[in-house]
Amino acid sequence: MNKTYIAYLAKKNAELFMLLNRPYTNIYDSITTYMKSELANRLDKEFDSCQDQSVYKWLDDFDDKHISSLLSKPCIADGEALYWLGYLYRYWVLTERTTSRKVISLLPVKIGLEKYILWHTYHFDKVIELAKNEYLLSKTAHNKYEAKKNSLFIDYDDPFLYQFLAKRILYKIVRDKKIDDLSFSQSYSSPSFYNHEDSISLYVTRCNLGNLRYAFDEENRHLAYVKDRFERNILFVFLKEEMNEEVVRDLNKMRLSLKKSFSDIYLLHNNDLWHMDERGDYTKTIITISKADYNISQRLALRLADE
């Protein structure tokens, strides 16, 4: 199939996604159902008579079979992100000669829409590569967890688990309902928690001593997109090695720049939690991270990955 015809079908798919964005249906369910439907299966083929039908004909055929199942919990999504995702999905299917069902399993609707702000400036070939790599990284991490799930402190690199675990640890310490109410987002360069109403955000990273400065620089760069929206920005670091004088020395060098972006910084290694407050002073707290904390965080991470 030549590039011009691929672009033609991708554009029509994007237009269909815009038409599916209706106030009385659920846009996430609508796209997911469409990508697994007989219509999408026909459009996946190299040649099929339905490919030259109008977008409105596609919509009528889809609604005839599926509209009744899409009316619960109605919601809509951003139009530009939808158009981009619709184009991406069809472009991906036709250039890689795969199926719509396979594509949506690699990049679910919710994640795809959230990635728009990060990926929409890239060529679609690059976006497909990024989506595949992220999927493989997540699945590899989950498989590693399953193999070691009887171990409490495991070398586990899934960023989703650490997001939920950091939130759980912080709430156990400060008992601040604003922390407990933080919602998950992947809208920026790394996963994070934030709550617009309570003007608080939480950024989480995991690193060893050698990468500590790089991790802080990265989180500062990510925070530049949103720091003005919040009154309180928290950085939580899972240290792979023990906190020592070298770490404290590095932190002191970065203290001024860090405090411009973060109101609180937490560093955790095993059960030792170090806190750098607004004045730049350090305090150490001994905390207990139970297996239940890991299990609950893992269930939330897996649920998010499966959405």
27-68 confidence digits (pLDDT tens): 999 999 999 999 999 999 988 899 999 999 999 999 999 998
Residue-wise pLDDT tens digits, 217-264: 665 555 555 556 677 778 888 877 676 677 677 777 776 666 667 778
The whole-angstrom separation of Cα 128 and Cα 124 is 6
Map out the domains of the chain as residue ranges.
3-138, 159-306
Q: What is the mean pLDDT of the chain?
A: 78
Residue 237 CB: number of other CB atoms within 10 A? 24
Element (H, E) at 34: helix 27-35
pLDDT bracket for residue 153 (50, 70, 90): very low
The whole-angstrom separation of Cα 64 and Cα 53 is 16
188: which residues sit within 8 A by CB, 6+ positions away?
Answer: 117, 118, 222, 225, 226
Instruction: Confirm if 167 and 179 have CB atoms less than 8 A apart.
Output: yes
Mean pLDDT throughout 114-120? 88
Task: List the structure tokens of 196.
Answer: 């617009």
Element (H, E) at 147: helix 124-147
| Least confident among 24-28, 149-153, 200-204 | 149-153
Supply the pLDDT for residue 154: 42
Supply the pLDDT for residue 118: 85
Top-level class of domain 159-306 = alpha beta
19 pLDDT above the threshold of 80: yes
What φ, ψ does residue 267 adopt, rounded to 5°?
A: -125, 125
Residue-wise pLDDT tens digits, 72-103: 888 999 999 999 999 999 999 999 999 999 99
Nearest to 299 by CA among 168, 136, 110, 108: 168
Q: Which residues partner with 200 through β-bridges?
A: 195, 232
